[in-house]
Amino acid sequence: MHAYYFDNLPGDQRAPHHGEELADIAILDKLGVLHWQIPVSTNGQYPEIDAIAKERDYKNRDVITITKEGLGELYESKIKMFYEEHMHEDEEIRYILDGSGYFDVREHPSDTWIRIAVSAGDLIVLPAGIYHRFTLDERNVIQAMRLFKDEPKWTPYNRDATTDTNPHRQHYLEVISVN
């Protein structure tokens, strides 16, 4: 995992858009973003992921693969949808098994984007209520294990006045203001 400020220049969202380096990765910690580097298993066993899942009460998981070939005609619309700024009322947990991409998170209170480059072996947890977006990188392939506290669901709430007052967003802001 590698994090830096997004440059906000026009261009393909899948390009690196590498701005200024984060001086301190503790910024992600302050935003509540958790991250680990866990080597991808060659035998399909994931004891470290299992331990984290148990500790954090993740009961379900699945694997998703996103490729241009796999999504066919839906590829461009899906990539645009993932890249809409949104939040969830649940944590977003992804363990990257193959490929690579970017999670962009909003720094608070500056509202600047921090780009987090993820690749195989990265486990990232975005807290409920954080504004974020996702895109593949220029390789156009990622395979990720998704972990869930309860039944798998992925409900995005695109940023607007309503999401700014969402109780999960408000709770997130309270938690990070204490950090």
92 carries a ligand binding annotation = yes
132 carries a ligand binding annotation = yes
Output the six-digit token pair for 152.
């798998």
168 carries a ligand binding annotation = no
51: CB partners within 8 A, 6+ apart: none
Q: Where are the beta strands (DSSP E) in 92-175?
A: 92-106, 113-119, 122-126, 132-136, 141-148, 157-158
DSSP 38: -
Please state whether the peptide bond connecting residue 109 to the residue before it is cis, i.e. omega within 30 degrees of 0.
Answer: yes
Binding-site residue ranges for Ni(2+)? 86, 88, 92, 132
Binding-site residue ranges? 86, 88, 92, 132
Binding-site residue ranges for Fe(2+)? 86, 88, 92, 132
